[in-house]
Amino acid sequence: MTSQGARGRRFEGELTPEAVDLNASVDFDKRLLPEDVAGSIAHARMLGRQGIISAEDAERIASGLEEVKRRFERGELSWDPALEDVHMNVEARLTESIGDAGSRLHTGRSRNDQISTDLRLYSRNSAEKLSALIGDLRRALLDRAERYVDAFMPGYTHLQRAQPIRVGHHFLAYDAMLRRDQGRLADAARRAGECPLGAGALAATTYPIDREGVAADLGFEGVTRNSLDAAGDRDFAVELVAAIALCQTHLSRLGEEIVLWVSQEFSFATLGEGYCSGSSIMPQKVNPDVAELIRGKTGRVTGHWVSLMTVLKGLPLAYNKDLQETQEPLFDAVDTLKTSLLVARGMVESLEMNTERLRRAVGEGYLVATELADYLVTKGRPFRRAHDAAGALVRRAQAEGLELEELSLEALRAEDSAFGEDIYEWLDVANAVDRRDVVGGPARARILAEIERSRRELNGS
């Protein structure tokens, strides 16, 4: 293999150094070594089965590829940017190792269908690994939900205290988001499940290849149905990064709430010191930097999705070198979410909720006002009339510096004669929460049932 890489004898001269730097992708696509070798082994063995090359050459290629992979992984072989990419580096080292048989490997394929195959394998593998990490974070959230099932906190709308909930219900909201994120990753992996090997550069091949056999060997569900599309699209990468960006957004929301909770203004929780930093000049500071970084990474990952869309938007069929620019955004998005999930799990496991402070917060701000209205509805009042009465009582309590449960029965009846002594049971926070005993609600029994359901799902039972 000459230092001209894939250019061959069509060219007399070499690329300029600047062009080599721009053209080479091996610095980032070398991470595809496992997928590239797996695809090449499957291709070589298929060539042998089909009689396109000898069975002996096929096995020499397969064993040679395994050895090349091991030597690269051990650092015994160096990556050559003049050979452009992972594919040409592997093929060059293979030919150096086993001789002429190595030069038969590329029969019946192109780097175009080869890289598409590698990236699909990488995307599928990455989706599976990320989903497993999401599962670990979900388990941490479920553990916290169970631990704090008997603690109460304000639920918010518009960042204003709204109604009381159990702390466990809040953690379960993130479990629900992450469950959907796992589903999106699975969908992206499924649509990356068609093998493009055999599409060639754009117009397939004249050799009697067995595409279905190669697809099965590599764990694909089937093969692509159009060679132009197979070689020239990266929508599977766009979809995976879109799913990653949405998951990162959910982690950002969790990070934002942790930042709020551990602030002195809220004081709802403390975060393990392993996830905090100090100040260079203020010795008292304990800053939730890691949660902030998870929040900040969202712009990076969303930007990768935009980059992928922009690369694809004006490309004619089939392959264009622009597609090389889809790899780094894909790789970095995967890496960023992986790190964020690991850190988020640790943060959740280290969170200690200040249950007394939370309970005091629940008792401030008239969070049980809706109970007044609901009580009157049970007495036959129309909801709008009941809502107005409750609003008037909030205004009176506020004017008198009281909470709603501190209003006398006489004051309540002055607004509506339907109020009875049992209203004070309705205004108890635990009772108010547990009356919301519907699927998806914050009642204690519903939370425990949801924790159990999610655990069974995660355990595959």
pTM of the entire structure? 0.94
Q: Provide the pLDDT confidence category of residue 4 given band limits of 50, 70 and 90.
A: very low
C-alpha–C-alpha distance, residues 317 and 231, integer Å: 9
> What is residue 10's predicted lDDT score, i.e. its pLDDT?
64
> What is residue 14's predicted lDDT score, i.e. its pLDDT?
76
Q: Are residues 194 and 46 in the same domain?
A: no
Q: Is residue 458 part of a domain?
A: no
Q: What are the tens digits of pLDDT across the range 116-167?
A: 999 999 999 999 999 999 999 999 999 999 999 999 999 999 999 999 999 9
Last residue of a domain, one of 107, 133, 152: 107
Q: What are the tens digits of pLDDT across the range 176-234?
A: 999 999 999 999 999 999 999 999 999 999 999 999 999 999 999 999 999 999 999 99
Q: Are residues 278 and 370 in the same domain?
A: no
Q: Rounded mean pLDDT of 319-348?
A: 98
Q: Are residues 271 and 291 in the same domain?
A: yes
Q: Are residues 280 and 146 in the same domain?
A: yes
Q: What are the tens digits of pLDDT across the range 343-363?
A: 999 999 999 999 999 999 999
> What is residue 12's predicted lDDT score, i.e. its pLDDT?
65
Residues belonging to the active site: 158, 279
Q: What are the tens digits of pLDDT across the range 17-50?
A: 777 767 779 999 999 999 999 999 999 999 999 9
Contact 200, 112 (CB under 8 A): yes
Q: Are residues 40 and 127 in the same domain?
A: no
pLDDT at 388 over 90: yes
Q: Are residues 150 and 199 in the same domain?
A: yes
Q: Which residue segment(s) compose the domain that 300 sits in?
A: 112-209+220-355
**CA contacts within 13 A on the Cβ side of 240:** 32
- Three-point CA angle 382, 384, 388, nearest 5°: 120
> What is residue 24's predicted lDDT score, i.e. its pLDDT?
79
Q: Are residues 227 and 171 in the same domain?
A: yes
> What is residue 360's predicted lDDT score, i.e. its pLDDT?
96
358-376 residues labelled b (16+ CB within 10 A) or e (exposed): beebbbebbbbbbbbbbbb
Q: Are residues 260 and 170 in the same domain?
A: yes
Q: Is 151 left (phi over 0), alpha (psi -120 to 50) or beta?
A: beta
> What is residue 382's predicted lDDT score, i.e. its pLDDT?
97
Last residue of a domain, one of 306, 339, 355: 355
> What is residue 3's predicted lDDT score, i.e. its pLDDT?
41
Least confident of 47-51, 242-246, 280-284, 315-319: 280-284
Last residue of a domain, one of 329, 355, 381: 355
Q: Is residue 455 part of a domain?
A: no
Q: Is residue 12 part of a domain?
A: no
C-alpha–C-alpha distance, residues 190 and 177, integer Å: 20
170-185 residues labelled b (16+ CB within 10 A) or e (exposed): bbbbbbebbeebbebb
> What is residue 1's predicted lDDT score, i.e. its pLDDT?
37
- Please give the biggest Cα pair distance in the chain: 100
> What is residue 101's predicted lDDT score, i.e. its pLDDT?
97
Write the CATH number for 400: 1.10.40.30
Q: Are residues 260 and 397 in the same domain?
A: no
CA dihedral over 226, 228, 229, 234, signed as positive or negative:
positive
Write the CATH number for 41: 1.10.275.10
Cβ-proximal residues to 454 (8 Å cutoff; 6+ apart), any chain: 138, 142, 172, 175, 179
> What is residue 6's predicted lDDT score, i.e. its pLDDT?
63
Write the CATH number for 332: 1.20.200.10
Total tally of structural domains belonging to the chain? 3
pLDDT at 400 over 90: yes
Mean of pLDDT over the chain: 95
Q: What are the tens digits of pLDDT across the range 260-309?
A: 999 999 999 999 999 999 988 998 999 999 999 999 999 999 999 999 99
Q: Is residue 461 part of a domain?
A: no
Q: Provide the pLDDT confidence category of residue 337 given band limits of 50, 70 and 90.
A: very high
Q: Is residue 454 part of a domain?
A: no
Q: Are residues 280 and 347 in the same domain?
A: yes
> What is residue 7's predicted lDDT score, i.e. its pLDDT?
60
Q: Is residue 267 part of a domain?
A: yes
> What is residue 383's predicted lDDT score, i.e. its pLDDT?
96
Return the percentage of the chain with pLDDT > 90, whole number. Answer: 93
Q: Are residues 22 and 59 in the same domain?
A: yes
End-to-end distance of the chain based on CA atoms, in angstroms? 53
Q: Are residues 103 and 116 in the same domain?
A: no
Residue type, 248: Q
Q: Is residue 147 part of a domain?
A: yes
Q: Is residue 428 part of a domain?
A: yes
